[in-house]
A and B are shown apart, each in its own frame.
Chain A
Amino acid sequence: MTDILRLFGPLVLWLASFSAIYGLHGAICAQGWDRSLLVMAWGIAVAVQAAPLLLLSTERFGARAGFVRRASLALATVSLVAVIWTLAPAAFLSACV
């Protein structure tokens, strides 16, 4: 079960940040808040997403078996790329039109 979490966890974290920032975007447009919040949230999401990658590469939290270890690290990297890639528009595009 722990191994399954190691494999799926990082991407689920991406999904959570992705949905949260999409929700925040809705709130910003509804309430007229400043868009710099979005860029900040993106930064936080990227920082948070680095955590599973670091944790999974430690002895303590990482998997022991070679296969799960390699796969979980690859998936954590994929999720880090995903959080940077999918939320990048937060910094570059017009917010509410």
Chain B
Amino acid sequence: MVCLCRWVSPVNALRRHRELSRIWASDPGWRGWFTTVNHTDIGRMFLAVAVVFFFIGGILAMLIRAQLASPRSPFMGPEIYNQIFTMHGTIMMFLFAIPLFEGLAVYFLPKLLGARDLAFPRLTAYGFWCYVFGGSMLLFALLAGIAPDSGWFMYPPLSSTLGSPGINSDFWLIGITFVEISAICAAVEITVSILRYRAAGMSLSRMPIFAWYALVASLMILTGFPPLILGSVLLELERAFGMPFFQVEHGGDSLLWQHLFWLFGHPEVYIIFLPAAGVISTILPVMARTTLLGYGWVVVGAISLGVLSFGIWVHHMFATGIPHMALAFFSAASTLVAVPMGLQVFAWLGTIWKGRPQMHLPMLWIVGFFATFVIGGLTGVMVAVVPFNWQVHDTAFVTAHMHYVLVGGFVFPMLAALYYWMPHLTGRKRFFKLGETAFWLVFIGFHGTFLLMHWVGLLGQRRRIDTYDAGSGWEVINLISSVFSFVMAIGFALILIDVIIHTVIRSRGPRNPWGAGSLEWAMPIPPPPYNFASLPEVTSRDALAKSPGLALGLAKGEGYLGTPRDGLRETLTVDTATGQPNGIVVFPKNTALPIVMAFVTGGIFLGMLIKAYWLVPLAASGVVALSLRWVWGLGHRRDQGLQDAGRGLMLPFASETADPPGWWGSVFLLIANATFFGCLLFGYAFLWTVAPNWPPPKWAVADVRWLGVAFAGALIGPLGIRWAILSLRRDGSPLPGLLATLVGVVGLGAGAATIPLSLPDPTRHAYDATAWVIGGYGLFHAALAVLMMCFLIARSAAGFLSARRLGEARIVRLWVDYAALVTLAALAAAFAPGILS
């Protein structure tokens, strides 16, 4: 038989499948769980753990409703109740919603984008294990009865030593920061994967719409989570060492926490909503058998929502006594956000209008989403109106609004996603029709629980009270709420049973059950570990709809990289804008390194938690050693030159391009890092202008000689690394340049160290404490740069650098430049007031 296609690889489909499966498979048996770095495995594990946390959080919610069902209920006292509602919020926000998005993105993005894995497979695994270990810390606290109890928003002084002298708050601050490592890792990973790891020909305008939402959400995680991490670090430093960032009598201010927390907390709501909107924009057109209306507009809307949502954080602080004009700025911004939000809703409605909607189960959930989310959005606009906010703030009205937004806007779309993609995960079709019954139970249960809660809030019932008096007029409403909440719980239990039956009963489903047009269906289901036997070339947004035979062609090896090479795990990188292929990535194999490193990282956090401070440096050096081991295995000692990518295309390995994936990862990690530092400087300026009890008793006095050393370092470091790269380009020895850089960054470190050295007591005043943190931040980055330089010198000696293999040196250049910048900024911030006055 003659094959018409031009590029036929020498292996046939079955042999290709066998060989690729062998290359990409995780380790056999239980070991595979701990050493896998495959995104399909880790995505599933992420999703499963997030769902476990959802059910734990749900059980806590049921306990809350049981307590509030009757006035003066003897069910539990305030000490227990406070832990339960705090943990309900914490678990749902940090351990369920964000990780569920991460799991969804980790599992689906490469498949939607036409790649074989995410950019940094080991980082995915590391993030996952950090999430598991951090989450376990919080669960342990819950079971031991020493869980955080100051609300999920953790306002000091209540959450600090004054209001919570016990270990409860430490579990929150340390556990959540540990979990946030996974959010940052996943966000870097997702951003780089979307920008670089796509199918050939997939330009920005041909990206699946979910990728746009995931890109915006990930960039928001990178800029939204640093303020929270900073706040947690500062509050933990206050609790552990008495550095008074939030204590007013020593120049701190509890309002600083509220700013940092909501600077994170408001974008967080959109970080949760955007992926859900992405899911709807993906599923809805398929269910309406058409394409999404106004793709370009929807992208514009998603980006606007993402950035605008950073300008609304103060609307959670309308009752804190901030001047009316400042409130008005944020009130205006809050109403403005409704515009892109409305755009989304109308684009979806228009999509249904222009298509032929079919009421499958995923569509049912989407309709449920519409009914619920629109109510939540409208009450949201009401809450943005200042005088109305003053009346309903901190009442059950806001609780109801929030649940309409988060359950309606996130959980319902995720259930649509569950039923839409379950065939993809399992390769089966649904057996019993339990899902429809479950939908009605959850939908009716939800509205029964929360609709009347608006009213009881308007009647004056506050949030977070553990009990109330008979005769307040709230009894009937609360009882109705509680009864319906159990209806909802039964619905969720039914969904769980439905999913279990689905996975257990063997009834094989068709390959593309919904007739969708996106690439994740152009593979066998359940997906093989390598996703695509060869990588597709796309010419439109709905590649599969345009060429229904795509899956078969890819299996036959008609795409790129269809011939396995030396047992390597390979995929393509593309140019961000055009989607032109420009490199071949070789992924690392299965390894226990991520889980071991997550475990050792846990040592740092555990040491802080149980105040075994000797453990902290020990674990930190462990992390350093493991990271060196992690990166040493990358790259080549010899130039490899151009490689055959299939279909007649010759491409270099990504490690031989000027901007390897690690460079892109570093850029986005540095964006998160710079946001952290920016928030630190904001905090400093905030305390200076707003906190009572300023100025401090004494400003730091600069030692001019050390300032000179730091300036020289900031000059020599960045120049030295440039010199080294130039020498490499000219095939000369980079060593003189590298050594000069090393000297420069040591100078930076010495300069940064003068800040804490000139302020002997960080507990004296918030200024001293803040200067210590700023100086410590500079010192940390100088030390990091020193470490990287030593690494680079060793790599150079071992022959890993050449004119073609510049990537590592360019990555280190980013970090050296950053260290120089932040050290100078730190010195200016700490010493300028002393010099000026």
Contacts and interface: CB of A to CB of B under 8 A. Distances in A.
A74 B690 CA distance: 38
B304 A78 contact: yes
Given A15-B307, A94-B324, 18 more contacts: A1-B195, A2-B577, A8-B219, A19-B311, A22-B329, A23-B685, A30-B690, A65-B204, A68-B577, A71-B303, A74-B300, A75-B300, A78-B300, A86-B329, A86-B332, A89-B325, A96-B325, A97-B324
Contact of B296 (A21, A25, A67, A81): A67
Nearest to B203: A65
Contacts of A65: 203-205, 577-578
Contacts of A22: 314, 326, 329
B332 A85 contact: yes
A87 B307 CA distance: 16
Contacts of A70: 296
A4 B216 CA distance: 11
Contacts of A21: 329
Nearest to A77: B300
A4 B307 CA distance: 13
A13 B265 CA distance: 21
Interface of B: 195, 203-205, 219, 296-297, 299-300, 303-304, 307-308, 310-311, 314, 323-326, 328-329, 331-333, 336, 340, 576-578, 685-686, 689-690
Given A15-B310, A95-B325, A27 B204 contact: no
Contacts of A74: 296-297, 300
A97 B205 contact: no
A74 to B, nearest CB: 5
Nearest to A66: B205
A86 B327 CA distance: 11
Contacts of B303: 7-8, 11, 71, 75
A3 B577 contact: yes
A11 B336 CA distance: 13
Contacts of A7: 303
B577 A94 contact: no
19 contacts: A3-B576, A14-B307, A14-B311, A15-B311, A18-B329, A26-B689, A27-B689, A63-B577, A67-B204, A67-B296, A68-B205, A71-B300, A78-B300, A78-B304, A86-B336, A89-B328, A89-B332, A93-B324, A94-B325
Nearest to B328: A89
Contacts, number: 104
B308 A11 contact: yes
Contact of A29 (B299, B323, B685): B323
A88 B219 CA distance: 28
A54 interface: no
A96 to B, nearest CB: 5
Nearest to B340: A78
Nearest to A70: B296
Interface in A27-73: 27, 29-30, 63, 65-68, 70-71
Contacts of B304: 11, 75, 78
Measured as residues with beta carbon below 8 angstroms from the partner, the interface class of chain A is 35 or more
Contact of B336 (A3, A8, A19, A85): A85
A45 B324 CA distance: 21
Interface of A: 1-4, 7-8, 11-12, 14-15, 18-19, 21-23, 25-27, 29-30, 63, 65-68, 70-71, 74-75, 78, 81-82, 85-90, 93-97
A4 B331 CA distance: 29
Nearest to A38: B325
Contact of A1 (B297, B323, B576): B576
A59 to B, nearest CB: 16
B195 A86 contact: no
A63 to B, nearest CB: 8
A40 to B, nearest CB: 15
A32 to B, nearest CB: 12
Nearest to B219: A8
A3 B203 CA distance: 11
A93 to B, nearest CB: 5
A45 to B, nearest CB: 12
Contacts of B576: 1, 3-4
A86 B577 contact: no
Given A26-B690, A68-B204, A68-B205, A8 B326 contact: no
A76 to B, nearest CB: 10
Contacts of B296: 67, 70-71, 74
A95 B205 contact: no
B336 A97 contact: no
Contacts of A82: 308, 311, 333, 336
Contacts of B333: 18, 82, 86
B833 to A, nearest CB: 15
